[in-house]
Amino acid sequence: MRVLVLLGAPGAGKGTQATILAQRLGLPHVATGDLFRNAVRAGTALGREAHGYMERGELVPDAITIEMLIERLGRPDAAEGVILDGFPRSRAQAEALESALLVRGERVEVALLVDVPAEELVGRLAGRYVCRLGGHPYHVILNPPRVPGICDVDGSPLEQREDDRPEVVRARLTRQLAPLQSVIEFYRARGILRAVDGRQPIDLVSRGLIEALDPVTTA
């Protein structure tokens, strides 16, 4: 099982890169943010519980998040591996993932950090539109879709996320950068952290990530 973790601040480009890597590597893209948004839309108990935290730009509590992710990892399409986007987001989540994989004799292969300075993130989030069906991200200026308002990947309509409003963006950056740092340190200590400069154009970031993944075969 190949477990790849994509790390980055809100707006760094995790979803963009996870979509590309998923196609290149043939692994499912598992984004906890998408799982929560689907649950909110479906009106499940999980969705009702997560919604308030998301609206305030806070992290959803670890217990709920970990349970949801472990359940997702157990589904048949994840048997060969996954690209995790937006998980883990706290040290407790990183530890829980490590333990859950260990009982299967597995481990995280690499943690890929899409590194973008905080001052760039606000503009990226303010101009972001995501598709309704798959959460594929676009940007009005930096990364527009081929047909305005329509997702290139699955044809579904684009919409703005309710937590991409300026006041929630500020809250997310204030509350989520410190826990991200603790996750970065967690993987650095295990020797599997690889960082790529996320300020580059999307295709160069992808290339950097692929090289970080497998420096030998892409050399």
Active site residue 107: no
* Residue 36 makes contact with ligand ADP by CB under 6 A: yes
Asked whether the beta carbons of 212 and 112 are under 8 A apart, the reply is yes
Output the smallest distance, CB 190 to ligand ADP, in A: 18
Active site residue 161: yes
Q: How far apart (Å, rounded) are the C-alpha atoms in residues 53 and 177? A: 16
Q: Is the CB of 4 or the CB of 10 nearer to ligand ADP? A: 10
Q: Is the CB of 72 or the CB of 128 nearer to ligand ADP? A: 128
x/- track of binding to ligand ADP for residues 106-125 (CB under 6 A): ------------------x-
Asked whether the beta carbons of 19 and 206 are under 8 A apart, the reply is no
Q: How far apart (Å, rounded) are the C-alpha atoms in residues 138 and 152? A: 9
Residues 129-188 that bind ligand ADP (CB under 6 A): 137-139, 142-143, 163, 172
Active site residue 14: yes
* Residue 96 makes contact with ligand ADP by CB under 6 A: no
Active site residue 194: no
* Residue 32 makes contact with ligand ADP by CB under 6 A: yes
* Binding segment (CB under 6 A) for ligand ADP, from list 30-38, 100-108, 145-153, 180-188: 30-38
CA 96 to chain centre: 17
Active site residues: 14, 89, 128, 161, 172
Instruction: Report the interface residues with ligand ADP, using CB under 6 A.
Output: 8, 10-16, 31-33, 36, 53-54, 57-60, 65, 86-87, 89, 93, 124, 127-128, 137-139, 142-143, 163, 172, 198, 201-202, 205
